[in-house]
Amino acid sequence: MTPGPLSRRSLLLGGLGAAATLTAGAGAARALTPEGSGPFGGSSAGSADHLLSGLHEGLVVTDLEVVTVTDTSITFSWATYPGPHPFYGTVAPTVATDAEVRLAPAGAPGPLPVVHHDDEPRGFHLVTVEGLAPGTEYAFECRSGGIAARPGLMSTHQMWSPERTGRVTTLTPPPGAPVGRIAVINDVHIGEERHGILVAGMPTPIVQAEGLPPFPDLMLAGALAEIRARGVDRLLVNGDTTDEARPAEVARFVEIMNGYGAHGVDWHVTRGNHDRPHTPSSDPAAGYERHAVLPGTADHRDPWGEALVPRQQMWTTRVGGLRIMGIDSTHLDASGGMIEPHQHEAIEAELATDPHRPTLVLAHHPVTREAAFTNAAGPSFVVPQHDADRLQSAFTRAPGVFLMAAGHTHRAKRTAPDAARGVDFVEFGSCAGYPGGYTIISLHTGGYMVNFHRTGTPEALDWSARSRWAAYGLNPEYTLGTTAHRNYVVHRDLAALG
Ligand SMILES: [Fe+2]
Ligand SMILES: [Fe+2]
């Protein structure tokens, strides 16, 4: 079929909600452009198809990513740099240029037609092609300055990567009628100023460009604006809403979220390890001492729990026939996870009341062995095995549980279940750092579709262009994940949602 109308994602965003108070203005879109750099002409050197292709003078068009694939759309992103351009290192300034996408059903005769061209110069490009046919393979090419974009990461440069093959197939929607859409955001980190630190201040963190709003604020506001424009039935925020649960950070998170809607009505939240209680002595300037001592602790204060959900307390809510369960998987004093016995008992009692009810579960920490042994910080970074086993055992007695979403690792990755064979365990990419976005779960009576979306406001894309260089550019290799882990369909009997 012929591709239909095309649009930049930024078209969705004009003057929407919370973002209106946070945008840096369109000028920020070109903040990374080197002074005095003009338009670049085409260069055949830029089309060399290997990882050293950027080590030449002239325009380098790279970091191609097939970010989102739905049943009717494909979203591409790529970046343009002045060469020579190593793929790892410190923050690399982009150079602003045009954006073009050529696309057609695979096997269609003739050269690929141009389906999108945008002369507005930008350094980090995000283009969505809409109006596509479901379950159809498309051939594509993204171009800037007359040069085809190539993958820049090892993770997008595999033999089978759509970024390498230039072919991608739109999803086939699940069977049955659409019955609702749920948005999930995780790892917002309001208050964080230094991004990408792994341990003891290393590696050198990425910071926001001078004069621009704090990156967590603008990434959250941009995501909320897009989610609102898309229209969802409920928004779930899955932990690490703040940097260190400082009272001002909690207040700022709540203020931004209140611009979206009411807590417990329009949005719900779980606690992440960064939101855990703190002692006043851990940061005397934070103001923790203005809050009461948390019962059962010597001197921990819990401003997050006072404003949102008390510590180690599960909650549930309903969206039509769907049950959503939020779990507090956080340790009192560590980045790893835990679920205390009383919360296990509450989870088990709730599931037992209606075990076949279609149920979506959220906890900040992943709970599978695969997640424990594949995340960069190892098993101690997630929920301990005995807690994971007890939770998955409860899921085996509640066959309505179909999906459990986590954050924490900041990566987009599905992992295999252990005991709970019928549950889709997935970690979603982070809001604040690369890949920088949110996830939409589209529910049908016969299953569901999951799609990660990169936040497309100009200031969000500028931050993505910087956070691309976290851990000297290696962080995205871990967090971006594959197109198939960010976008997929599961067939499942969800007829009770109809
Ligand atoms: Fe986080
Ligand atoms: Fe976390």
Return the CA Rg of the chain: 22
Q: Quick check: pTM over 0.75?
A: yes
Centroid of ligand 2 to alpha carbon of 243 (angstroms): 10
For residue 18, what pLDDT is reported? 26
Q: How far is the CA of 26 from the centre of ligand 2 (A)?
A: 32
Using CA atoms of 366, 391, 316, 416 in order, give the dihedral in degrees to the nearest 10: 40
CA distance 322 to 316: 10
Ligand 1 centre distance from Cα of residue 473 (Å): 18
Per-residue pLDDT at 32 exceeds 80 = no
| 206 CA to centre of ligand 2 in angstroms | 18
Ligand nearest to the CA of 479: 1
Tell me: the pLDDT tens digits for 233-265? 999 999 999 999 999 999 999 999 999 999 999
Structure-token pair, residue 83: 């060469």
Q: What is the pLDDT of residue 197?
A: 80
Cα–ligand 1 centroid distance for 186 (angstroms): 7
Nearest alpha-carbon partner for 260 in 288, 230, 283, 305: 230
What is the CA(176)–ligand 2 centre distance, in A? Answer: 36
Instruction: Tell me the CA–centroid distance for residue 130 and ligand 2, in Å.
Output: 34
Nearest 10 degrees: Cα torsion 380, 399, 491, 318: -90
- Residue ranges covered by each domain of the chain: 32-169, 178-497
Q: Cis peptide leading into 384, omega within 30 of 0?
A: no
pLDDT in tens, 442-483: 999 999 999 999 999 999 999 999 999 999 999 999 999 999
Ligand 1 centroid, distance to 408 Cα (angstroms): 5
Angle at 45 between CA 41 and CA 46, to 5 degrees: 70
Query: At the topology level of CATH, where does 178-497 sit?
Result: Purple Acid Phosphatase; chain A, domain 2 (3.60.21)
Least distant ligand from the CA of 410 = 1
Q: In what order do the strands lie in the sheet with 322-327?
A: 315-319, 322-327, 359-363, 401-406, 424-427, 413-415
pLDDT tens digit sequence for 72-97? 999 999 999 999 998 999 999 999 99
Q: Of the bound ligands, which one is closest to the alpha carbon of residue 241?
A: 1
pLDDT at 279 over 90: yes
- Kindly give the residue spans of alpha helices, DSSP state H, lying in 332-384: 341-353, 369-374
Instruction: Determine the distance separating the centroid of ligand 2 and the alpha carbon of 239, expressed in angstroms.
Output: 7
How does the average pLDDT of the chain come out, rounded?
A: 90
Distance in Å, CA 423 to ligand 2 centroid: 22
Distance from residue 337's CA to the centre of ligand 2 (Å): 9
Instruction: Tell me the CATH architecture of domain 32-169.
Output: Sandwich (2.60)
Please name which of 351, 365, 363 lies closest in space to residue 327, comparing C-alpha atoms.
363
Q: How far is CA 322 from CA 236, 318, 319, 430, 457, in A?
A: 14, 6, 5, 24, 31
Provide the percentage of residues in the chain whose pLDDT is more than 90: 85
Contact between 419 and 389 under an 8 Å Cβ cutoff? The reply is yes
pLDDT attached to residue 17: 26
CB contact at 8 A, 458 and 10: yes
Closest CA to 107 of 67, 166, 147, 159: 166
Question: What are the tens digits of pLDDT across the range 296-329?
Answer: 999 999 999 999 999 999 999 999 999 999 999 9
- 275 or 201, greater pLDDT: 275
Mean pLDDT computed over 348-364: 98
pLDDT at 152 over 70: yes
The more confident residue out of 51 and 254 is 254
